[in-house]
Structure 1
Amino acid sequence: MSLPRTCIMDVQFSEQYPLRILLAEDNRVNQKVLLRLLKRLGYEADVANNGREAVELVRRRAYDVVLMDIQMPEMDGLEATRCIFEEWSPDERPHVIAVTANAMQENEEACRELGMSDFITKPVSLEAIVLALRRCQPITGR
């Protein structure tokens, strides 16, 4: 599904979809790119540099969405997602969106089987973020 360009570049998108976002990404360049894309939509996201940090930040603050890189040091995105999902019930935990350079079908299936809400491949486009975030609702249980 393609979106009109004016629709996806609007900073008011975050007003229509008010979400607290955590970006879990170890690569500084990818962090900057993703933060810039989110800013174009009106979001200010927190950043975790690895899966372990992501789990700790989710424990300290209620996020609606975690953009989770799959390959990170210390704790990868799949393990971090398992920890989050074990600790919080479905109505209390954030939506976890996989962000990965590995676009193979089996990787997407593994993420979906784990319970991730969506799967975005790198390089990430603004349109892919918009489509994924539109499917997320704020978490009301926490």
Structure 2
Amino acid sequence: MNKKVLIAEDSSVIQNLAKKILQFQNYEITAVKNGKQVIEKLEKETFDVIVMDINMPVMDGMQCAEQIRQRTDEKAKTPIIAISGNAKNYTREDFDRVGINEYLQKPLNFDELVDKVNHYTR
């Protein structure tokens, strides 16, 4: 069975590229536009990894990661890979505090994205 990846990214271009590249690696992809939709998807489904932009409308990636980590079920442990155009505004400690496992800088290096997703879905 294919591993399931949830991509949360408000840029359609980046979302579609990430989706195509990961589908090519045989991942099953669900894509949403903001953190609130991530939380809604997690109510109904389980994912092997979440790839999430930090800067999204409605609920950003930092708030979303915090909410996921506060869950009382297994889904609280879902690995989170953050992507951000301005990760410089955050420190490694900020990411650790909200429970983000890894972060990738934009413009996205898609080889690196595939490596990280592979790492967390082994």
- Name the Cα RMSD after superposition: 2.2
Considering fraction of residues, name the structure with more strand.
2
- For the 8 Å contact 2:5–2:50, the answer to whether it is kept is yes
Show structure 1 runs of 5+ residues with no match: 1-14
Are 1:119 and 2:106 an aligned pair?
A: no
Considering fraction of residues, name the structure with more helix.
2
Name the larger-Rg structure: 1
Q: 1:46 to 1:36 in 2, by over 3 A?
A: same
Pairwise CA distance, 1:90 = 6.2
Q: SS state of the match for residue 62, structure 1? A: coil
User: Partner of 2:66 in structure 1?
Assistant: 82
Show structure 2 runs of 5+ residues with no match: none
User: Partner of 2:84 in structure 1?
Assistant: 100
Q: What is the TM-score of this pair, normalised by structure 1?
A: 0.75
Pairwise CA distance, 1:44 = 2.8
- Report the Cα distance in structure 1 between the residues aligned to 2:120 and 2:74, rounded to whole angstroms: 13
The sequence identity of aligned pairs, in percent, is 26
**Runs of 4 or more consecutive aligned structure 1 residues displaced over 6 Å after TM superposition:** none
Q: Deviations over 1:16-56 (max 9, x none)?
A: xx521100111111111111221221223101111000011
Aligned residues: 122
Alignment of 1:54-93 (within 5 A): 54-89=38-73, 93=77
Letter aligned with residue 30 of structure 2: D
